[in-house]
Structure 1
Amino acid sequence: MNTTERLEKQELRHAKSGLGFGVVSGMTWGLSGVIMSIAFGMAPFTEGASLLVAPLVGAALHDGFAGFWVFLFNLFNGKWREYGRSLRTKPGLLVCLAAMFGGPIGMSGYMLGITLAGPSYALAITAIYPAIGAILSVVILKEKIGVRTWIGILLSIIGVAIVSWVPPDATSFPYFYAGIALAFLAAIGWGTEGVVSGFGMDMVDPEVAVGIREATSFVVYFVAVIPLLLGVVGYQMLFGAFTTASIGVIAIAALLGGGSYICWYLAINKTGASRAMALNITYALWSVFFSWLLLGTQITPTLIIGGLTIVAGAVLVGANPKELINLRKV
């Protein structure tokens, strides 16, 4: 075997491992959302607080634990010193700004969507974030997008309409459409996060950027969102969670969520952002499977068809289908 053939085989293995990380990132994010919905069914989140309290406190705890797990990952990899160095740079500060959109806006809408509409529906809606990111890139960055991308955006919108057309049992989710709207807000937050973070990610180590993102989100929740929107009740629930079994459930969900982010960035590094995104947004379908497996959620035809339509649209937005099929072009 000559040198060229060996290099081609090595590149192919590298790309395939990236695809594997992309699949894991989607699977773990879908499972993380379902596990968070289990935590919301436990004390202290079921103790009669307003609809806002449990999801916002849950989002704060999720990002706090995720930041902790990612820090441990970076600590063992010898990257912990990069936190301070990165925060003293403009790209690092841009990552913090992106965290504002992805955390207090994106995660809040995501958690509220899970609570009010159920994890399978909420995650399906948030999977349109690549389409929103593409639209924002046109508006903010003045980028030009082609016919394929516009078709993908249209498919994503159609998928959202299909998913939300037939709501689940009204007794279980009386505020279903409010949850759908908040999940859409999460997609806007994550789409904006992607546009903003794109300026900083090239200069900040991906794993460190994830750690900064999660830590920044938790700090904003703790010092601004909880006192301004929830007050004393929010802090009581947050600290009260540490005395209940729900904190272990949230820690597991956050471990999966933080791991999902790391796998996502590893996939980007190994196989490219387009392919990584195309595999990551399969969390919309993984959430359906895990909701059925762990929660007994009824899988409706509209949920499956809508989820598949959203995923197909997101693939068209972020990836060239020909490149996804032919790995040797990586």
Structure 2
Amino acid sequence: MEQQAQSLLQKRDLAFAKKGVGSGLLSGAAWGLDGVLMGMVLGLAPFTNNMSIFAAPLVGACIHDGFAALWLFFYNVINGKWRDYARTLKTRPARIIMLAAILGGPIGMSGNLLGIYFAGASYTAAITAGYPAIGAVLGAIFLKEKISPRVWAGILLAITGSFIVGFVPPDGSNYPHFYLGITFAVISAIGWAIEGVLSTYGMDLVDSDIAIGIREATSFFVYLFAILPLAGGVSYQILTKSFSAPTGWYIAVIGLIGGTSFLSWYRAMNMTGVARTMGLSVTFAIWSVFFGWLLNNLQLTPNLIIGVVVLSLGTILTIGNPKDLLNLKIR
């Protein structure tokens, strides 16, 4: 009887872990699609305003995170968690999450969309997919975490992959500021890495659905009241015009895709573990190349394909033993 009960528990855990793997893959696919669609929308009016080359991507990031926060709030209302917002905001972990949100949103997301704007979605995704490797280095420096030889090998591969991707711009490029975009992509990866280090503590003490909602809401308000004023009055002109054109509402839908990615990410971590989830979700670089080719006529240059594969392998090595990704049983 005891063996039968144990067998049933193992089957339940295996099914639970498999669902977590599915959520991790969904997170990566959704984020890859999110980046490609945002790149396409940023090529439409009013984001093609030539008065400021920086304002358009920042306005796009503001709208994206605002709608992602809204969709996440609706999700939490449906699940009866809306009261937890006020309770959580009074705690110290919430303040840490808000600080992490500034690094991940106005710095990370801005760098991401500026990278997409100047270098294209797929090249930006390839670079930003290396953020876990950067996080591992930061964890070693600030959290005194030991780095094994496998992790160092992964970090080296990730850096090599990023170099391969960014060294040669695509042939016949429509991105005259390609290397500026690559620089912003690197800044994005650093911002997301620091966010991960900071949010680790907060996420342990706060419901992940609420933490994500606070993260996105904080990012939106910082954009609206701090970042856009720095970009000048043209940013608010673009913001206003975007909702008198279809583009603002396109981003509303893309924000739903982004919110789905965030929810799937944290659900996967709960179901199948952080290392496995990161190993699955960083496939957004590959998904971005696929969706870029499918939806936006992306040129599949050799350096892009090789770089994405090398960087993805390096990131997976950095965040977990590849054998663990094949072993779905929760230990």
TM-score range, shorter chain: over 0.9
One-letter code aligned to 1:238: L
> 5 Å matches for 1:119-134?
119-134=121-136
Instruction: After superposition, give the CA deviation of every residue in 1:284-325 in whole Å (9 maximum; x if it has no partner).
Output: 000000001110011112111110111111111111112112
Task: Tell me what 1:138 maps to.
Answer: 140
Task: Tell me what 2:26 maps to.
Answer: 24
Q: List gaps (5 residues or longer) in structure 2.
A: none
Task: Tell me what 2:95 maps to.
Answer: 93
Q: 1:149 aligns with which of 104, 128, 151?
A: 151
Q: Distance in 1 between matches of 2:304 and 2:171?
A: 13
Aligned to 1:144, what secondary structure does the other structure show?
Answer: coil
Q: Does the 8 Å contact 2:55/2:235 carry over to 1? A: yes
Task: Tell me what 1:66 maps to.
Answer: 68
Q: 2:166 aligns with which of 141, 164, 167?
A: 164
Task: Tell me what 1:4 maps to.
Answer: 6
One-letter code aligned to 1:290: F
Task: Tell me what 1:240 maps to.
Answer: 241
Task: Tell me what 1:264 maps to.
Answer: 265
Moved more, 247-256 or 271-280: 247-256
Q: Distance in 1 between matches of 2:171 and 2:50?
A: 21
Task: Tell me what 1:14 maps to.
Answer: 16
Q: Distance in 1 between matches of 2:191 and 2:221?
A: 17
> 5 Å matches for 1:1-330?
2-169=4-171, 171-227=173-229, 229-330=230-331
Q: Distance in 1 between matches of 2:276 and 2:247?
A: 35
Instruction: After superposition, give the CA deviation of every residue in 1:23-59 in whole Å (9 maximum; x if it has no partner).
Output: 0000000000011011111111012231101011111
Q: Does the 8 Å contact 2:39/2:116 carry over to 1? A: yes
Q: Does the 8 Å contact 1:95/1:197 carry over to 2? A: yes
Q: Does the 8 Å contact 2:272/2:330 carry over to 1? A: no
Shift of 1:329: 5.0
Q: Distance in 2 between matches of 1:266 and 1:119?
A: 26
Instruction: After superposition, give the CA deviation of every residue in 1:147-191 in whole Å (9 maximum; x if it has no partner).
Output: 111111000000001111221145501111110010000000000
Q: Distance in 2 between matches of 1:126 and 1:20?
A: 22
Q: Does the 8 Å contact 1:60/1:221 carry over to 2? A: yes
Aligned to 1:243, what secondary structure does the other structure show?
Answer: coil
Instruction: After superposition, give the CA deviation of every residue in 1:260-281 in whole Å (9 maximum; x if it has no partner).
Output: 0100000000000000000000
Instruction: After superposition, give the CA deviation of every residue in 1:128-152 in whole Å (9 maximum; x if it has no partner).
Output: 0001111111111111111111111
Q: Does the 8 Å contact 1:323/1:329 carry over to 2? A: no
Shift of 1:6: 0.2
Moved over 4 A (4+): none
One-letter code aligned to 2:267: L
Q: Distance in 1 between matches of 2:327 and 2:264?
A: 22
Q: Distance in 2 between matches of 1:46 and 1:326?
A: 48
Q: List gaps (5 residues or longer) in structure 1.
A: none
Shift of 1:7: 0.2
Instruction: After superposition, give the CA deviation of every residue in 1:209-266 in whole Å (9 maximum; x if it has no partner).
Output: 1110000001001111111x21211111112111111012111211111110100000
Q: Distance in 2 between matches of 1:321 and 1:230?
A: 43
Q: Distance in 2 between matches of 1:21 and 1:146?
A: 28
Q: Does the 8 Å contact 2:49/2:56 carry over to 1? A: no
Q: Does the 8 Å contact 2:272/2:328 carry over to 1? A: no
Instruction: After superposition, give the CA deviation of every residue in 1:80-105 in whole Å (9 maximum; x if it has no partner).
Output: 11111111001111110100100111
Q: Distance in 2 between matches of 1:177 and 1:146?
A: 32
Q: How large is the RMSD of aligned CA atoms in angstroms?
A: 1.0
Q: Does the 8 Å contact 1:55/1:111 carry over to 2? A: yes
Q: Does the 8 Å contact 2:158/2:311 carry over to 1? A: yes
Q: Normalising by structure 1, report the TM-score.
A: 0.98
Aligned to 1:328, what secondary structure does the other structure show?
Answer: coil
Q: Distance in 1 between matches of 2:30 and 2:51?
A: 29
Matched pairs, number = 329
One-letter code aligned to 1:26: G
